[in-house]
Amino acid sequence: MSIAVSAPGKVLLAGGYLVLDKNYSGLVFGLTARIHTISTISASEAGTIVVRSPQFSNATWTYTASPSKNGASVEQVTDKDSSDNTFIETAIRYVLSYLSLSKIPSSEIAILADNDYYSQPASTTPPQRFNNLNVPLSAAHKTGLGSSAALVTSLTACLLQMYSPTPFQLSVSSNLTKIHNLSQAAHCAAQGKVGSGFDVAAAVFGSCVYRRFSPSILQSLPEANTVGFSQELREAVDRNWDMGIEKTEIPKGMRVIMGDVDCGSSTPGMVKKVLTWRESEKEAAGEQWDELERVNRKLISLLAQLSEGSHDSVRRQILDIRKNLRAMGGAADVPIEPEEQTKLLDAVSTDVPGVLGGVVPGAGGYDAVAFIIKDDEETVTALKEFLAKWDHGKVKALETREEQEGVRVEQVKQYEGFGSYLKLT
């Protein structure tokens, strides 16, 4: 039998940079744009795992996996058309090492991404649910919805369901926690650093107010396949982490809509500069972060009890958050809200009725905008038309919207129309 799992993308609406410190929090919404993993046990030679991402060219990765005393040994089978995919390979290695199986059956895995994860070519006609981009994965332009976190979470949950020696139900809360902890470990290893983890948290739990875990939990893990790796990985994944997850949702009658600016920012470089500034200007930076936490928490509180009469309060709060982010960006010499984005956000907030406000989400920069708007057809249409005319059509409204649910099991039947590459049985 085939197994299908999906995990949502994310938008960090408030708490950019602050989520790097466990004393602060971030408001992150899961998105309806999802990464889907469909898998089935195959009759191939034991330990052969074939992963396909058929929306991209040359996107097939074959691995041999075998048990070892320090975890699973996972090696890529390469040929002239092979590319590396660190996130896929690391997720496979970490799940199999966590399970410590005595025998690893072969499997076929297909990964599909909803279209909003990547800037779509104008010539895609007619559009499908999963458009074929006809380019290598490395050449596709991401829209910043957290594709790597959703991929690792979806793949991790699917592999745990497929390979666990006992039934593994996603509806069990302790299993969700295992998926989270194991996905965080694999995602951080693939990135080469321990990040804030809000993107993986949203992929697992959906929309939430997030406070990060202590980085030391993962920093102390040995390298994969070194002495004690599988045992220490299991101990880390099975323990309770010191993080905060408060489930939340956008108020009824409101929605989040994303704009893809199709430009791109170097997020790691921006984060490094902000953290360097925070270290060198401890007192001023501390005051700035405390003030941002205060205005962010006020927005969270306003959204939790939103009524028609409090819309103006939300508008003022969003403006206050943006003012503080610009001040922090100026102090750190980082374009958190660049001038071009300021003009766009101000124009939309002023000229499109039904828009409560907009922000440059996450770490900021040039590649995305997010708006909180009234959830009615008139407002959505007006916003899309406004964005389409802005700066010669440089900004494209995405179809995705906020979603409360995190990782979930999917019905395999819905994917059957998307090609023989799924190898469904």
Task: Answer yes or no: are the C-beta atoms of 28 and 208 closer than 8 Å.
Answer: yes
Angle between helices 147-163 and 86-99 (to 10 degrees): 30
CATH superfamily, region 254-400:
GHMP kinase, C-terminal domain (3.30.70.890)
**Per-position DSSP letters for 69-133, written without gaps between them:** TTEEEEEEE--TT----HHHHHHHHHHHHHHT-SS---EEEEEEE-GGGBPPPTT--S--SS---
Of the candidates 410, 413, 19, the residue with the CA atom closest to the CA atom of residue 245:
19
Residue 128 banded pLDDT, cuts 50, 70, 90: confident
Give the integer Cα–Cα distance in Å for 300 and 18.
15
- Higher-scoring residue by pLDDT: 261, 177: 177
| 75 backbone φψ class: left, alpha, beta (φ>0; ψ -120 to 50) | beta
Q: Which residue has the tokens 């090492």?
A: 97
Residue 262 banded pLDDT, cuts 50, 70, 90: low
State the Cα angle at 381 between 380 and 386, rounded to 5°: 100
Residue 126 banded pLDDT, cuts 50, 70, 90: low
Tokens read off for 375 = 């959830």
DSSP label of 45: S
- Higher-scoring residue by pLDDT: 290, 270: 290
Residue 263 banded pLDDT, cuts 50, 70, 90: low
Strands in 254-260's sheet, in edge-to-edge order, are 355-359, 368-374, 254-260, 396-397
* 22 beta partners: none
pLDDT of 425 higher than 50: no
Helix/strand/coil for 251: coil
Give the integer Cα–Cα distance in Å for 270 and 20.
13
Q: For all residues of the chain together, what is the average pLDDT? A: 91
> In the chain, which residues fall in CATH 3.30.70.890?
254-400
pLDDT of 167 higher than 50: yes
Give the integer Cα–Cα distance in Å for 2 and 327.
51
> In the chain, which residues fall in CATH 3.30.230.10?
3-247+405-422
- Measured in whole angstroms, the distance separating CA 398 from the mean position of its chain's CA atoms is 16
| 307 backbone φψ class: left, alpha, beta (φ>0; ψ -120 to 50) | beta
Q: Which residue has the tokens 């981009």?
A: 133
CATH class of 3-247+405-422: alpha beta
Q: pLDDT tens digit string along 204-250?
A: 999 999 999 999 999 999 999 899 999 999 999 999 999 999 999 88
Length of the chain: 425
> What is the amino acid identity at position 196?
S
Cis peptide before 215 (omega within 30 of 0): no
| Overall average pLDDT of the 44-58 stretch | 89
pTM of the model: 0.94
Q: pLDDT tens digit string along 331-368?
A: 999 999 999 999 999 999 999 999 999 999 999 988 88
